[in-house]
Chains A and B, each alone.
Chain A
Amino acid sequence: MTDTPIDKAARATPRRVARVIKGVSDRTIAWIFVAPTIFLLLAINIFPLIWTINLSLTNYRANRVNREVDYIGLRNYERILTDTDIWLSMQATAHFLVWTIVLQVLIGFTLAWLINRKFKGNDLWTTIIVLPMMLSPAVVGNFWTFLYQPQIGLFNYVVSFFSGVDPSSFEMLGSVTLAPWSIVIVDTWMWTPFVMLICLAGLRSIPDYIYEAAEIDRASKWRQFWTITVPMVLPFLMLAVLFRGIENFKMFDLVVQLTGGGPGSITELASINLKREAFEKWRTGYSSAFAIILFVTVFGLASIYVKALNKVKER
């Protein structure tokens, strides 16, 4: 009879320890193993969340520690939900979120579809395309600020070359109508490769025999694309949308570098607004309530989306 690993472990256990754990049930041992993780989770996730909810019901300010803290019920929530500036920042966030996702999905999928075809230099092009997402958002923000500069910026000259308009006649970052699009363009430039990579993984996971069967059945390329490629890549695509959606809902660094929320408050996304309330105005109670509202929004939307994603996977 050969020793199993469990037998070996049992023999290696010191006698004193063995005596202690002899009467302990499997369930208890499982709890002992899981306890550190649960403790960490409670300490760094659950406790701060409960503490934030607690703060959101007060008028606490972190820079006024000597001031008496009053419980003001749901007053902070009421203020936020009736504040037109907050709704404007939510609108700016929605605009940014929707357009970046639409563009990144369309361009990312197209690039993946093209890259998936066998051609010379395939690997080199893949590497070049994924370069932007390897850069720091602060760096990207800074150099796009120069690219958008109306007097010396390359972007304006490129637009001028194709459209014939004077390069210094328009300001991407300073114009109320163009600034929201300028941040969408930069985010799309930076993160489309990420969507492309996920789509590429999806495309490469489709077995060739499915296409071969379709060929035998004389299905057109167009029909193969809509009945094989798209449905089989869809779960991957939905995953990419989930990642980008969550990321862009809390987008901060790139936009701060590019526009600082301006001109005026046109590109002041919810996260920028939240940072200003929390760490510049020091309205800790108010900003905690705002953070909870954002958390519930993201959590709610993500939960609905994940359910939909699971349904798609089951099909």
Chain B
Amino acid sequence: MKKQLLALTTASFVVVGAAGHAKAEDLTLCWAAWDPANALVELSKEFEAQSGHNMSFEFVPWPNFADRMLNELNSGGKLCDLLIGDSQWIGGGAENGHYVKLNEFFDANDISMDDFAPATVYAYSTWPKGTPNYYALPAMGDANGWFYRKDWFERDDIRAEFKKATGKELGEPKTQRDLMEIAKFFQGREIDGNTVYGASIFTERGSEGITMGATGALYTFGFKYENTPGKYDMEGAVNSPQAVEGLEFYKELYDCCTPPGYTNSYMSASLDAFKSGQVAMAMNWFAFFPGLYADPVTGGDKIDFFVNPPQYQAGSTLGGQGISVVSYSDKKDAALEYIKWFAQPTVQARWWSLGGYSAHNSVLNDPGFKDSQPFAGDFLVAMQDVQDFWQEPVYAELLLAMQKRLHDYVVAGQGTAKEALDKLIADWTEVFEDEGKL
């Protein structure tokens, strides 16, 4: 009986294999060049073995990722069959016909969006936002979080000095103001003969850095994009007193507590500052946390992680991406096969174990998930309160306006926070007027 079953199973695999992919394709998957991309290469070997397709990868460094990929999409390029595009691209991807709509495919293959964390489905897959129109499968959950030198925080001499200076116990900050207090304490301090600094934060001007960093603070103070979702009524939301306070806070954090020369810093600068022992705390995307924990010098028991602390409310800047099939690809069927394979719970579990952040409920709701990594619990908490930037088709224009206004104020020190946010509203209003949405 067992032999018969084995023969039947083998035969069915052969038949399904023969019917499913009559032709082995060379698929190209495009993404940013960072730690999780390496994990995906490893994971995709299983797909190659199962499907017979060959996988190639086009990974572009983050500062050039949007430029390179959006140019590719806008020119109808065939370089990428699959694209793990940033969450903000979903509007443009859908409206400009760059991404294949996946609803029929999901229905035909029993892939349910209910199996994925709602925040990730909303952010990475849907357009118009929140509607059941899917253009991507959540591929990589991510948010902006914090990590710190646990070994410094646990040292008796440092703890005593902190207590003396502030009257408080040194520990993971519970609010944004706590975070600044700790950062100020460490700024310029001598530790083991080296001068160290408070925190490394995002200040990059060219792509999205300062916006991703500052919104982490802004959301917790009460910044909103609109008063009424979908109405583009920004006056009083973008420049509310809380938003102004949040932006002033971020500027103060930049002025008081960053290492010298951190005027144009993003992900890699934050990692470098931490790994070289320059800073007590640093912000970065959860995607980097497995690598940080594994670092032989500053990882292991020297590091710990915390969620972006709340101020008046909880809030974290959303990162992460969904995986889409590029509509200009000549190998859409094979690309859809990849999506189908990737959506399987077993593959998602393996994805998490390799260092990717699965958004699948079977992984996130697993009782052992929280303790599977030192940052796993924080990741779950962060994903409950994530907020994303505009996902409009004109997101790039909206983003560049915010980059300019924030950098002008925070780094260049020009004008006031209120003026910066007022100008931002004027910029965004002009963009939405051009789009016929206002």
Contacts and interface: CB of A to CB of B under 8 A. Distances in A.
A263 B67 contact: no
A149 B260 CA distance: 8
A244 interface: no
B363 interface: no
A63 B397 contact: no
B264 A280 contact: no
B412 A282 contact: no
A54 interface: no
Given A63-B96, A260-B205, A266 B412 contact: yes
A174 B261 contact: yes
Contact of A265 (B97, B262, B404): B404
A265 B263 contact: no
A280 B260 contact: no
A264 B408 contact: yes
Nearest to A79: B430
A256 B63 CA distance: 12
B157 interface: no
B408 A265 contact: yes
A151 to B, nearest CB: 6
Nearest to A281: B397
A256 B95 CA distance: 32
B206 interface: yes
A280 to B, nearest CB: 6
Range of interface residues on A (Cβ < 8 Å)? 20 to 34
Nearest to B73: A63
B400 interface: yes
Contacts of B205: 260-264
A174 B397 contact: no
Contacts of B313: none
Nearest to B427: A85
A282 B400 CA distance: 11
A130 interface: no
Interface string B323-334: 000000000000
A171 B263 CA distance: 9
Interface in B386-426: 393, 396-397, 400, 404, 407-409, 411-414
B411 A63 contact: no
A173 B412 CA distance: 11
Contact of A65 (B96, B411, B434): B96
Residue among A176, A259, A280 with max Cβ neighbours from chain B (10 Å)? A280
Contacts of B73: 63
Contacts of B259: 151
A195 B96 CA distance: 49
Interface centre among B73, B259, B411 (most CB of A within 10 A): B411
B70 A171 contact: no
A309 to B, nearest CB: 38
A264 B411 CA distance: 6
A266 to B, nearest CB: 6
B412 A63 contact: no
Given A174-B263, A263-B263, A264-B407, A280 B96 contact: no
A265 B427 CA distance: 15
Given A59-B434, A64-B96, A262-B263, 8 more contacts: A62-B74, A63-B74, A151-B261, A171-B263, A261-B205, A262-B264, A262-B411, A264-B407
Contacts of B92: 63
B71 interface: yes
A276 interface: yes
A265 B264 contact: no
A150 B411 CA distance: 16
B67 A279 contact: yes
Contacts of B409: 264
A31 B222 CA distance: 72
A66 B393 CA distance: 12
Contacts of B204: 260
A282 B411 CA distance: 26
A297 interface: no
A168 interface: yes
Given A263-B411, A279-B67, A149 B206 contact: no
Given A63-B70, A63-B96, A264-B407, A168 B260 contact: yes
A281 B399 CA distance: 9
Contacts of A265: 404, 407-408, 412
Given A63-B92, A265-B412, A282 B74 contact: yes
A11 to B, nearest CB: 54
Contacts of A64: 96, 393
12 contacts: A65-B96, A66-B95, A150-B260, A150-B261, A260-B205, A261-B206, A262-B205, A262-B263, A263-B407, A264-B413, A265-B408, A279-B71
Contacts of A66: 95-97
Given A150-B261, A173-B264, A264-B412, A281 B407 contact: no
Contacts of A263: 205, 263-264, 407, 411-412
A85 B415 CA distance: 14
Contacts of A85: 404
